[in-house]
Structure 1
Amino acid sequence: MRNSCFIFVLFIIIGCSNNDDEIVDYAGNAILGDWILDSEYTFDPDFPESPIPALMDGCEGKLTYSFQSDGTFNVEYFERDEQNCISRGVNSGEWTVVSDSVYTFKPSFKINQTGVLSGKYYALFSEDLQAMALMNVNNSTKEIVYFKE
């Protein structure tokens, strides 16, 4: 998988950190723009080097976030309707930067779907700013990966 190394590096950085300030988002406004869900992983603390991918159908992989500079975001999510992926609409929310590498996401909606963000997340961006990995501050056993659309 194209993001296995990226995921492993994020897990090691976050797993070894005792202080939020040790992880730095050098990209600044890297989160701005459109992002599409690539994958979600669970980490077994006994085997952190072997992330377990979440089972996603093709519809969940279409989930798209659009982050604006005014601190708002829109998210479009999809569900399978018999054999087709159907958009279930666009919802909005707010995002803020808590520190150099910690973001808070406050959706204005409730949905339980792979890739939907709510709460505080550590963020790590690829050097070319085309990939973003997020790990919930309160649950470091899951990681969500997005790619620029």
Structure 2
Amino acid sequence: MTTFPTARAVRTTPEGLLWEPSERWVRGRRGEVTVVDSRHPVLVWELEVPVPLYAFPREEVREDLLRPAKNPRSGTHSGSRIFYDLEVDGELLENAAWTFPAADLCGHIAFEWLRRSGRGLDHWYEEEEEIFVHPRD
């Protein structure tokens, strides 16, 4: 079971990732399918990327839609440990999700944003408002 941090302080992993618990209710969808619905997301700043992304506790992710990546990417997402393909309504999105190698983020899954990378989840919501490209930090 994932432990949900509650303190509002930016933390640094040994790998150099910055992360911070968020108090926002965040949802990510592909088309009409909700893939993640979380009240315990964390903001993650990857090395040399100026904007954060969200990572989510596994238990708040539709893992039934994830498949081990057939062609895992290399050299992306700060040394990702595991990549996943996402299958929604018969469509397979390669490398749409991943985990980080950092022990601090163990048990969390991050997703690509369609408007940020050209693939991934296409609708994101913080509370009731749709957001685009990246989370507010």
**TM-score computed with the length of structure 2 as normaliser:** 0.30
**TM-score computed with the length of structure 1 as normaliser:** 0.28
State which structure, 1 or 2, has the greater radius of gyration over its C-alpha atoms: 1
Higher relative contact order (CA 8 A, sep 6+): 1
More strand, by proportion: 1
